[in-house]
Amino acid sequence: MSHTGRTTEPAKRTLRRDLLAARNALSTDDVREAAGALARRALELPELTRARTVAAYVSVGAEPGTLPLLDALRARDVRVLLPALLPDNNLDWGAYGGEGSLARVQHGGRMALFEPAGERLGPDAVTSADVVLLPGVAVDTRGMRLGRGGGSYDRVLARLERAGAGPALVVLLYDSEVVRHVPEEPHDRPVQAVVTPSGVRRFTEGGRAVPGA
């Protein structure tokens, strides 16, 4: 890791810890209501309106809920790809066929994840996506995302870059998780937009925030 990476990691850990503590204080009703609002806002995105394939994920715990959005995309005949965590923290992918197509998978001592139970399509399947919905803990006013710290989505973004793929990158968060600054490392890349229960915020290529739809 570079010197920059060593100096930013403690700041990332502190910010991540504080934001996750706030998430974990949310009630079940708060999480459910936010999930419905998040889906409505996300479905307004032109990128999702046009998309034929969307790479997404199944939220767990107090994460901003994704199931209403996944089901709405599927109802639009959008092909939804969901990740399956591999032993090396890379991600394989499978197609979402409704809530009954998910399997609860325990990965060691971590939180159990809901993953596609059907055919595995390989880590490169994500390169076919028109939109990649990213989990996160925060995003700043330049579009820099703070992830959970496992590195799986850093690998996804690197894979997309190597393949020359250019899907829209969108992070799903609570309103309070749009912050002034996220510490970054040289490999970090900004997202194009963040969706929260109250709306959409877009970011320009130069990192300046612009009003959302």
- Please check whether residue 121 is in contact with residue 95, taking contact to mean a CB–CB distance below 8 angstroms: yes
Q: Please check if 212 is assigned to a binding site.
A: no
**Ligand-binding site membership of 9 (annotated):** no
Per the annotation, does 13 bind a ligand? Answer: yes
What span, in angstroms and rounded, lies between the C-alpha atoms of 163 and 172?
Answer: 24
6 assigned ligand-binding residue: no
| 100 has binding-site annotation | no
Rg of the chain on CA atoms, in Å: 16
150 marked as binding residue? yes
| Residue 145 is assigned to a ligand binding site | yes
36 is in an annotated binding site: no
Q: Is 151 annotated as a binding residue?
A: yes
Annotated binding-site residue? 153: yes
Q: Taking phi first (over 0 means left), then psi (-120 to 50 degrees means alpha), and beta for anything else, what does residue 207 get?
A: left
CA 30, 32, 35, 36 dihedral sign is negative
Is there a binding annotation on residue 96? no
Q: Is 155 annotated to bind ligand?
A: no
Q: What angle is formed at CA 144 by the lines to CA 156 and CA 134, rounded to 5 degrees?
A: 40
Of 188, 190, 69, whose CA–CA distance to 139 is shortest? 190
Check whether 16 is labelled as a binding-site residue: yes
Known binding-site positions for substrate = 58, 63
Known binding-site positions = 12-16, 58, 63, 145-153
Known binding-site positions for ATP = 12-16, 145-153
